Structure 1
Amino acid sequence: MSDETTVKDTDSEYMIRCENLVKIYKTDEVEVVALQGLDLDVKKGELMAIVGNSGSGKSTLLNMLGGLDRPSAGSLYIDGKNLLKFSDRDYMQYKRETVGFVWQNNARNLIPYLTALQNVEMPMILSSKKERKKRASELLEKVGLSHRKNSRLDQMSGGEQQRVAIAIALANQPRLLLADEPTGSVDTKTSNMILDIFKELNRTEGITVVIVTHDVKLANHIDRVVAIRDGRTSSEIVRKRSYKAELDEMGDMLTQADDSEGEQTHEELAVLDRSGRLQIPKEHLEALGLHGGDRVKVELDGDGKGIRLIPPSQ
C-alpha cells in the first residue's frame, strides 16, 4: 500500500477516525446526500454499535468503512490509512488484509453446497495462505461449530450459518470486523449467542468490532452505541459501568435484572461535533414546541455550567 495513504502515528490509538465525512449519490436528475458531515472515532480493540432508522446513513457509513464505497468529502482514516487517497489496488488490499465483513444476508458470505470447513477455507485460498484447513478448524471452534465442520450449509440452521459467516470474516485475520444486522434474522436466544461470540473475539483477539443495526436494544449488551440521524452522529448511548467491570465484581454471573434495566445502566448523550453543532433529541424539541429550522436563543444558565434553549417569543 502506498506511503501517501498512511497517516502519522499521532492517532495510533484509533482504528477509525471520521471527520466531517460526506457522501453524495448523484444521478442525472437526483442528488442525495447520505452523510452530511459525520464525525466518529473508534479506538483500537473497541466493540461498539451504530444504530439508526432506515435512511439515517448507517449503511452508507458501513459500506465506506468496508471499502465498498468511496467518500465524497471529509476525512476517513482506518488503521492509520487515508481511504480518500486509496487507489483501486489499495482498496483491494485493504479488503483482503484489514477488514472482515459479516452480512445479514448469508448468501453474500456462504456457498451452500460446500461444507462449513470449505467455506471458511475459501478466502484463504484466494489469498494463498498456508495451513488453511488448520486455521479454518480453529475458527470454527471459536464460533462453537467444530462439531459441524463437515456439514454442508444447507444442512445447518440460520444461526449456525451466521456463525460460519463470522468465521469466514475472520479467515484472513482482519484488524477490523464489521457486522451488518448480524442478529436481524435469528431468534433472541441465537442473537444473544452471536453477540457473545463478538464479545469473546473482541476480548481474546483484540479485534475492533463495529455492529450496525436498527435495534436500539443492543444498548443493553454493548458498552457504547452511537446513534446516527440525518447523516450525522446525533447521540451516544454509553454504559455507566462496563460489562468487564461488572464481571470482575460479580465473577462470571450476569443477572436477568441487568438486561431488563438497561435504562438504569446506560445514559444517552448528545454529541457535539467538531464544528460545534449539536443535534437536539426529538422529544426535547417537541417539549419546547420547536421544529427543525426554527431559531432559538442559546443562553448559559445561572451558574454557567449548562445552556438553555429559549424560543424567541419568550
Structure 2
Amino acid sequence: MIHCEGLVKIYKTEEVEVMALQGLNLDVEDGEMMAIIGASGSGKSTLLNILGGLDRPSAGQVRVGEWDLTKISEQDLVRYKRSTVGFIWQNNARNLLPYLTALENVTLPMLLNGRYDVNRAKELLDAVGLSHRMKNRLEQLSGGEQQRVAIAIALANQPKLLLADEPTGAVDTATAEVIMNIFREINREMGVTVLIVTHDLALAKKVDRVVAIRDGLTSSEFLRGGYAPSGAPGGQGDLHQEFTVVDRVGRLQIPQEYLQEMGIRDKVILEFDGEKILIKPPSQEDSLTHAEETFPSGTQTIS
C-alpha cells in the first residue's frame, strides 16, 4: 500500500533550512494496521502530510497504491485525496464543521465527491457507536464523540488508506481505548489500511507493527509476536519484538541512550564472531595503537 524510499523533505525560509526527513524508508502492506512513533520534531507528522497529499516531498520516492506522489498532478492530487486516503486530525476543529450535524458532516465529503449516500453515512455513524447522535452539532458532542464522528467522515468516500495524526491525544485513557478499538474493527471488517502517528508507546499493544522515527529516519520496529526487551512498548513481557532498521546502504541508528551508557562518541569497534556482530567502544589501548599508526615514532606534530 505504501512504499517510501530515500524520502527527503526540506523546509526553507530566507534565513533557515530544516531537513524534516533525511532519506526515510518505509513499506506498509495492504490491510496492515500500524503506528509511527517518535519524539516531537522527529518527522512523523511531515511523513503523514506527504502520504495524505497535503505536502510534497523534496526528493526520494513515495507511492500509495497506484499513485506516485512525487509525480502526481494537482488535478490527480485532488482525486487522490477524495478517493484513496482519509485523514483524521488531533484537533477536532479541523475535522468537523460546527454548524452542521454529525450526519451532515459525514455526508459532506460524499457531496464533494459526487456520491451522496445518506444511508452509508448512517451506517458509518452506527459503526462508530453514534447512531443516537446523528442530529447533534459539535457543541453537543464530547471530545471523544467528535473524534468518532471524524473517523466516520474519513471513511465517507471508502478510502483504502486511513491516516490518523495523534487521534487519542486530546481524550482520556478510557476514550482512547474506545477509539483504538474502532480503528481495529474498521481495519478487520472493512480491510482499510490504518496508519496512526503518535508519541504514545502504549498504542503498540493495539496495532500489528510499530515503526519508530528518529531525526527524520526510520530507526527501529516493534512487531507483534515476540518478547519485548525492557524499555519496549508496554514494558517487559509485551508480545512485541524490537528490530533496529538497516537501510539499503547498510546504515543503522543506535539509540542515543545506548551510546551514552557505553560512552561512545564518534567511533566504535565492530567484531563478527560468526553468529553475532558486536559493537563496543574503543579502549584506551586501541586509541594509543591508532595514534602510533597515524604518527610513527620520530614524527613531529605541530599544534
The Cα of 1:91 is off from its aligned counterpart by: 1.0
The amino acid across from 2:270 in the alignment is V
State the one-letter code of the partner of 1:297.
I
Shift of 1:260: 6.6
1:175-194 superposed Cα distances (whole Å, 9 cap, x missing partner): 00000000000011100000
Mapping for residues 46-195 of structure 1, pairs under 5 Å? 46-130=32-116, 132-195=117-180
Cα 1:195–1:262 change in 2 (3 A) is farther
Q: Deviations over 1:136-182 (max 9, x none)?
A: 10110111111111111210110000000000000011000000000
Q: Aligned-pair distance for 1:283? A: 2.5
- Between the aligned partners of 1:261 and 1:33, the Cα distance in structure 2 is 32
Deviation at 1:264, TM superposition (A): 3.2
Instruction: Look up the SS of the partner of 2:238 in the other structure.
Output: helix
What letter corresponds to residue 185 of structure 1 in structure 2? A
Which digits, 9 at most, give the CA deviation of each residue in 1:118-145, with x for residues without a partner? 1101111111114x21111011011111
Letter in 2 for 1:267: Q
Match of 1:217 in 2: 202
In the alignment, which of 231, 245, 262 is matched to residue 271 of structure 1? 245
Aligned with 2:270: secondary structure? strand
Q: Residues of 2 paired with 1:28 and 1:109: CA distance?
A: 32
Which deviations, in whole Å up to 9, do the C-alpha atoms of 1:276-304 show, x marking residues without a partner? 1101122221222113xx0222221x2x1
Deviation by residue 1:18-51 (Cα, 9 ceiling, x = unmatched): 0110001111121110000100000000000000
Contact 1:37/1:232 (<8 A) preserved = yes
Report the TM-score when normalising by structure 1: 0.86
Show structure 1 runs of 4+ deviating over 6 A: none
Secondary structure in structure 2 of the residue aligned to 1:165: helix
Residue 206 of structure 1 and its aligned partner are, at CA, apart by 0.4
Are the structure 2 counterparts of residues 145 and 279 from structure 1 closer, same or farther at C-alpha, using a change threshold of 3 Å? same
Q: What's the offset of the Cα at 1:238?
A: 1.6
Between 219-228 and 65-74, the greater mean CA deviation after superposition: 219-228
Q: CA RMSD in A?
A: 1.6
Assess if the C-alpha contact under 8 Å between 1:270 and 1:281 holds in 2.
Answer: no
Map of 2:258 onto structure 1: 284
* Counterpart-to-counterpart distance in 2, 1:176 and 1:305: 40
Identity %: 63
Q: Matches of 2:236 and 2:77 in 1, distance apart?
A: 39
Which residue is equivalent to 1:45?
A: 31
Q: Which has the larger radius of gyration?
A: 2
Q: CA deviation at 1:241?
A: 6.0
**Alpha-carbon distance between aligned partners in 2 of 1:144 and 1:241, rounded to the nearest angstrom:** 33
Asked whether the equivalents of residues 36 and 231 of structure 1 are also in contact (C-alpha less than 8 Å), the reply is: yes
Q: Distance in 2 between matches of 1:51 and 1:261?
A: 16
CA contact (8 A) 2:201 2:234 kept: no
Question: Quick one: which amino acid aligns to residue 276 of structure 2?
Answer: G
**CA contact under 8 A between 1:220 and 1:262: conserved in structure 2?**
no
Aligned counterparts, 1:224-243, within 5 A: 224-240=209-225
**Correspondence for 1:23:** 9
Structure 1 runs not aligned, ≥5 long: 1-14, 243-258
**Structure-2-length-normalised TM-score:** 0.89
Structure 2 unaligned regions, length at least 5: 228-232, 287-303
CA contact (8 A) 1:67 1:95 kept: yes
